[in-house]
C-alpha cells in the first residue's frame, strides 16, 4: 500500500515537511522579511552614508558597495541558522516531534525538509537585501554563477548548522546564545565591513582561522573580482564546512542524539 523501495527517498513526506515549514514562514511574513530589510537599510545609512563618505574606496571599490556582500552574508547566515534551529527546536519544545519520529521517514528526509525550507527562506531574504542594496549603491556582479553557488552553499551549510543547534538546544536561551555569541562576532571579524589588509599583521593572521572570512571573501570576489583569499580556496572552505555539518548530522542520525531516547 505505502511500501516504498528501501533505498530512495520518500519525497511525499519531504514535501509535506517543506510545505509545512514554508507555511509557517509565510504566516510570519512581516517579521521574517521586514526586520532584516530595516536592519540592512540602517547599515547602509550608517556605514555607507555617514561613515562611508569619509572612507576612501577599499581596493578601488566605493565603500558603500564594498560592504554589500558582507551585509548579505551576515543576514544569510543569521537567517539560515535561526530558521533551521527554530524549525526543529519548536517541535521538540511543544512535543509535536512525536509525529516526525513515528512517521515512516528517515532522518535524512527530515533534514532535507527542514534544512531545505530554512535555506529557501534565507535565500529569499538575501535576494531581498540585494535588491534593497541597489537602491542605495551601484552594484555589478562579475561572476553571477559563482555568486549563486556561494549563496546556495552558504545557505545550505548554515541551515545545517542551525539544524544541529536546534537539536542540541535544551532551552530557548541556548537556541539564541550561539548565533549571538559565535556567529555575529565571526561575521563582523570575518571582513564584512573591511578588507583584512586593513588589519595589523597579527590580527590578519588570526582572521585566517575564521571560516566566515572565506565565505565573505569568495562572495565579494563574485561581485568585484577582488578577494582577501583566492576564490577557489573560499569554495573549498565552504564545501568543507558543508561536509563537516553533514558529518555531524549523519552522526546525530546514527545515534538519535537528543531526539530519541
- Write out the residues near other proteins by the rule CB under 8 A: 1-4, 6, 10, 12-13, 15-17, 19-20, 23-24, 27, 94-96, 98-105, 256, 260-261
Q: CA-CA distance, 80 to 77, in Å (whole number)?
A: 5
- Nearest distance, CB of residue 64 and other proteins, angstroms: 39
Query: Is 203 or 250 the residue whose CB approaches other proteins more closely?
Result: 250
Query: Is 5 or 200 the residue whose CB approaches other proteins more closely?
Result: 5
Query: Is 98 or 209 the residue whose CB approaches other proteins more closely?
Result: 98
Instruction: Name the nearest CA neighbour of 163 among 246, 82, 84.
Output: 84
Residue 200 phi, psi (nearest 5): -60, 155
Lookup result for grid cell 555569541: 181
Query: Is 90 or 188 the residue whose CB approaches other proteins more closely?
Result: 90
CB 238 within 8 A of CB 213: no
Virtual CA dihedral for 211, 219, 126, 59, nearest 10 degrees? 110
Q: CA-CA distance, 227 to 247, in Å (whole number)?
A: 29
Q: Which helix (H) or strand (E) holds 246?
A: helix 231-255
Q: Which residues pair with 61 in a beta bridge?
A: 58
Query: Is 99 or 173 the residue whose CB approaches other proteins more closely?
Result: 99
- Nearest distance, CB of residue 24 and other proteins, angstroms: 8
CB 122 within 8 A of CB 211: no
Amino acid at each position: 500500500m505505502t511500501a516504498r523501495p528501501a533505498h530512495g527517498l520518500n519525497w511525499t513526506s519531504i514535501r509535506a515537511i517543506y510545505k509545512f515549514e514554508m507555511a509557517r514562514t509565510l504566516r510570519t511574513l512581516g517579521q521574517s522579511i521586514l526586520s532584516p530589510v530595516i536592519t540592512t537599510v540602517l547599515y547602509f545609512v550608517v556605514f555607507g552614508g555617514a561613515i562611508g563618505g569619509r572612507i576612501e574606496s577599499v581596493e578601488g571599490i566605493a565603500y558603500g558597495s564594498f560592504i554589500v556582500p558582507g551585509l548579505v552574508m551576515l543576514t544569510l547566515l543569521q537567517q539560515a541558522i535561526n530558521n533551521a534551529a527554530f524549525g526543529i527546536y519548536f517541535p521538540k519544545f511543544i512535543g509535536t516531534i512525536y509525529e516526525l519520529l513515528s512517521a515512516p521517514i528517515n532522518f535524512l528526509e527530515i533534514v532535507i525538509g527542514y534544512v531545505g525550507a530554512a535555506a529557501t527562506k534565507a535565500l529569499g531574504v538575501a535576494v531581498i537585501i540585494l535588491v534593497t542594496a541597489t537602491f542605495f549603491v551601484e552594484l555589478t556582479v562579475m561572476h553571477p554563477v559563482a555568486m549563486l553557488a556561494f549563496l546556495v552553499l552558504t545557505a545550505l551549510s548554515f541551515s545545517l548548522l542551525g539544524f544541529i543547534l536546534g537539536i542540541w538546544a535544551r532551552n530557548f536561551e541556548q537556541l539564541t546564545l550561539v548565533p549571538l555569541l559565535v556567529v555575529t562576532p565571526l561575521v563582523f571579524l570575518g571582513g564584512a565591513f573591511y578588507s583584512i589588509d586593513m588589519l595589523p599583521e597579527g590580527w590578519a593572521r588570526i582572521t585566517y582561522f575564521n571560516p566566515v572570512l572565506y565565505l565573505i571573501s569568495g562572495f565579494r570576489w563574485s561581485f568585484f573580482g577582488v578577494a582577501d583569499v583566492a576564490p577557489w580556496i573560499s569554495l573549498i572552505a565552504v564545501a568543507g564546512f558543508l561536509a563537516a555539518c553533514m558529518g555531524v548530522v549523519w552522526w546525530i542520525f546514527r545515534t538519535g542524539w537528543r531526539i530519541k531516547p
